Structure 1
Amino acid sequence: MSLVALKDILGELSEAMQENCSHLPQNRTPTMVYALAKGAADIHDGAVNSLQPSLPPTKEIACAAGCSHCCHLPVVTEAITVLRLAHYIRTTFSPEAIEALRTRIAARQALLLPLESAARRHFRQACPLLENGRCTAYEARPLICRSFNSFDEAACRTEILEKANDFYMEGYPLPFEIGSALTRGMVDGLSSAGYRDAQLDLAAALGVALDRADAAEVWLAGEDIFADSLVA
């Protein structure tokens, strides 16, 4: 497949996501919000699987179950993804597991909030959703988590955990390009529908969404519940 053809496909994916999100005002329900976020994830995974035979990785991808170096990076995601994730947690986690998760989120925020913005870029703490090296909400994970990958596990460990560097990790670009295209479409579609879907710190925003059983409803009504979760 040529780069021109890939660019066209990415454009089509972005436009499709934009169109899907633009219809939210006609169906302002939490169910629609969750469906839009799940749809984006399903489109991402399907597109990667479909295009990979034509655009295979140039090296073996090092990512595997139990490898969680990148899960120590701050994750930036979108409002509808957070709302879907909170719904997934409420409907699949036990009450004890939810309370333990909220405790981990609060502990993380206590360490992060006193830091200046520059220091936050180098903040390294396990994602609150991580347990025993595995994501407890893997099915509902954000697009960026579906997109990130690496050809070198040792480099991830060194650069992310040991040095806490700003870095570009060499990996398979296809998932990232697809995720970026869908995110652009999502943000543009929600903007045209009158919703602000800015970049949010996943852990901070998830804490807000878990604290409010009506999070999706009030977000749909226009309340800026994630104002304190914005990433500069």
Structure 2
Amino acid sequence: MPARTPVDQRFELFDHAIAQMGKRLERVRHPEQMMEALGWGMAELDRTYAETRRSVLAKVACHSGCDACCHVPVDVQAHEVFFAANHIQLHFSATELTELLERLATHRANIAALAPGDRDLIRQPCALLRDGACSIYAGRPQACRTHHTSDAALCAAYNDESGVEIEKAYIPALRARMFAVMLGVDEALESAGYDERCYDYGTALHEALTNSLCLVNWMRRHNAFPDSCLAYPDEPGK
């Protein structure tokens, strides 16, 4: 039986993330302050990974250039999109941004053309993938930070065939720790009144980078993006 993180440790990580993120959100008045708060949440995920037992981390097969997971649909919440968008705006040149927007527009069109229920089956490279690695690694979403595999070959097979049981490659002890922190950060934001809807990463990122009102609406605790950006637009409540 695979090693697992004790339940009390999971709740400790979860409660700590809620409390610390909640304190930071209370001080937020401007987008810059929000990015600092979100940065804490991302750093907390990285710290949680780094402090995981070596015997557990030894099972991680992920490495630079292993990009199978960068071809599957990614579900995110609005704060992950804005954190990534902020990183892009700070670090990309005008040319790089233009090229990225073209790739994101293609992604968005491909997703929009899918029949209801087919999104989970599509495979296309993330618009931010560059030479087999993430071009915004420091700004990547929580969803990407919490995903780890023990079997890169199985991930590659899943990339080619959605029927593969990818769950077999998960590392329960690590996944539990990472998800406890991620869900704690999400809970703090939701409790503070911020958008809790689930969005398609590439589609919402394109909207965030082309419509500055998205961030304004989100900071005012309205829905950040239109329904067309939802991961499951045919199921708005999902």
Give the shorter-chain TM-score range: 0.7 to 0.9
* Whole-angstrom distance in 1 between the partners of 2:52 and 2:198: 28
Q: What is the SS of the residue equivalent to 2:222?
A: coil
Q: 1:31 to 1:175 in 2, by over 3 A?
A: farther
* Whole-angstrom distance in 2 between the partners of 1:197 and 1:122: 24
Q: TM-score, normalised by structure 2?
A: 0.86
* Whole-angstrom distance in 2 between the partners of 1:196 and 1:155: 34
Q: What displacement does 1:124 show?
A: 0.6
Paired letter, 2:41 = A
Q: Please say which of residues 9-18 and 84-93 is displaced more in the overlay.
A: 9-18
* Whole-angstrom distance in 2 between the partners of 1:103 and 1:46: 34
Whether the 8 Å CA contact 2:71–2:126 is kept in 1: the answer is yes
For residues 147-188 of structure 1, the C-alpha deviation after alignment (integer angstroms, 9 at most, x for no partner) is 21222222211122x213363241323442233212321232
* Whole-angstrom distance in 2 between the partners of 1:117 and 1:20: 39
Whether the 8 Å CA contact 1:156–1:169 is kept in 2: the answer is no
Q: What displacement does 1:120 show?
A: 0.8
Partner of 1:128: 127
Q: 1:43 to 1:108 in 2, by over 3 A?
A: same
* Whole-angstrom distance in 1 between the partners of 2:121 and 2:203: 17
Partner of 2:9: 9
5 Å-filtered alignment, 1:17-28, equals 17-23=17-23, 24-28=25-29
Paired letter, 2:65 = G
* Whole-angstrom distance in 2 between the partners of 1:136 and 1:179: 22
Paired letter, 2:22 = S
| Aligned-pair identity (%) | 26
Whether the 8 Å CA contact 1:44–1:179 is kept in 2: the answer is yes
Q: What displacement does 1:202 show?
A: 1.0
Paired letter, 1:122 = L
> What is the count of residue pairs matched by the alignment?
227
Partner of 2:235: none
Whether the 8 Å CA contact 1:73–1:124 is kept in 2: the answer is yes
Q: Please say which of residues 182-191 and 75-84 is displaced more in the overlay.
A: 182-191
Q: Which runs of 4+ in 1 moved over 6 A?
A: none
Q: What displacement does 1:73 show?
A: 0.7
Partner of 2:175: 176
Paired letter, 1:192 = S
Q: 1:176 to 1:227 in 2, by over 3 A?
A: farther
5 Å-filtered alignment, 1:54-65, equals 56-57=56-57, 60-65=59-64
Partner of 2:94: 95
Q: Please say which of residues 151-160 and 168-177 is displaced more in the overlay.
A: 168-177
Q: Which runs of 5+ in 2 are unaligned?
A: 233-238
Paired letter, 1:15 = D
Paired letter, 1:82 = V
Partner of 1:37: 38
Q: Which runs of 5+ in 1 are unaligned?
A: none
Partner of 2:48: 47
Q: 1:216 to 1:66 in 2, by over 3 A?
A: same
Q: Please say which of residues 26-35 and 73-82 is displaced more in the overlay.
A: 26-35
Q: 1:191 to 1:120 in 2, by over 3 A?
A: same
Partner of 2:230: 230
Partner of 1:188: 187
* Whole-angstrom distance in 2 between the partners of 1:112 and 1:82: 17
Q: What is the SS of the residue equivalent to 1:117?
A: coil
Partner of 1:68: 67
